Homo-oligomer: A and B are copies of this chain.
Amino acid sequence: MNAVTIKDVALAAGVSSATASRVLSGHPATSAASREKVAAVAKELGFVPNAQARSLRSTKTDTIALLISDVRNPYFSDLAHAVEQQAHAAGMMTFIGNANEDTEQQDQFLAAMLSRRVDGLIVVPQGLDEDADRPSPMMQRIIASGTPLVFVDRTLPEQRIPSITASSTGALEEAIAQLKLLGHTSIAFLGGPDHASTARERHSAFDSAMAANGLSINPALHFAGDFRAASGAGGARWLLEHELQPTAVVIADAPMAIGALTVWREAGIRIGKQLSVISFDEVDAMLMHDPPISTISHDLTSMGRAAVTALQEVMAGKSPEPQEFISRFTARESLAPTQAATGA
């Protein structure tokens, strides 16, 4: 096994373990002689410092944790990648945890991270099902423990926690304006779960975009999904049988869009002809689709970077302002004039 400790290194280098430690952690008060000797010996013996012992004493781990709600959602894996790269550049490791859109798994991961004494946490938070704005018990303990914490993508509004979010209001206004221009007035919305702040933000941005374009908001055209593919499929079926037969639809995230598009394909619905589709999240599948799906996208790379930067500020004792990124609307061939408009 790897039984080589700092004492072995110190012994072989003819110094005390204190000096060895100082050399290995770059403490200035060391002589050139011992610096060289210790470094050489450590390399030769293949010394790997025990991170547990180190951080037990020093109370820092150079590690942050990132909790996302679904690893298999490309949206979040992009975020994870950005956070990891940025943290890496700052000399910190990132532990990536997966909440699976489930409060219990979220809490287990948070407990594990608290127990491992990570230096900070970046969390895509999940509210409780009963009370979306209240943090889960473990989240409350995290907050109480004083561990630096930053929310990203989603927030819990009642908490005074720095957050990095995206605003889709502008993008949705553009999107709805475009639909209106094409003759659409009956527009459905396949939304996400209320316990996610992004779901609420997207829904209310949709409503205000409708209003801003002088279109009426019809609650009967709102479907409550859960951000997962199956609920998107359910939403698509619901829409197929809907008495109002809307001519356009906005979908709140990529997995739901994929579920819905699969159903529509099987039902022989021609996207862009019979139904205009706009989805959140610009992922490969949206671009590969025929026709390509119009999207409202966030700059996950920037958001990930900003989250790490904000977390570093929190760790330094500051409290950075909440930061809001602006989403972008990209029109693609999934939009077309309504039959009525074409026929006119």
Among listed A11-19, A149-157, A282-290, A321-329, interface-contacting one: A282-290
A interface, CB within 8 angstroms of B: 1-2, 46, 48-53, 55-56, 61, 71-72, 74, 77-78, 80-81, 84, 88, 93, 95-96, 98, 108, 111-112, 114-117, 141, 144-147, 258, 261-262, 283-290
Residues of B within 8 A of A147 (CB): 2
The A contact surface, by secondary structure, is: helix
Report how far A116 CA is from B284 CA in the complex, Å: 36
Interface contact B287-A290, CB-CB below 8 Å: no
The distance from the CB of A26 to the nearest CB of chain B, in whole angstroms, is: 16
User: Which among B56, B61, B80 is the interface contact of A71 at CB below 8 angstroms?
Assistant: B80
User: Cβ of A46 and Cβ of B81 under 8 Å apart?
Assistant: no
A93 near B74 with CB under 8 A, answer: no
- Tell me whether B93 and A112 are in contact (CB under 8 A): yes
Bound Cα distance from A96 to B95, whole angstroms: 7
CB distance from A72 to the nearest CB of B (A): 5
List of B residues within 8 angstroms of A88 by Cβ? 108
For residue A25, give the distance in angstroms from its CB to the closest CB of chain B. Answer: 13
Nearest CB in chain B: distance from A255 CB, A: 9
Known: A71-B81, A77-B77. A262 touches B287 (CB 8 A): yes
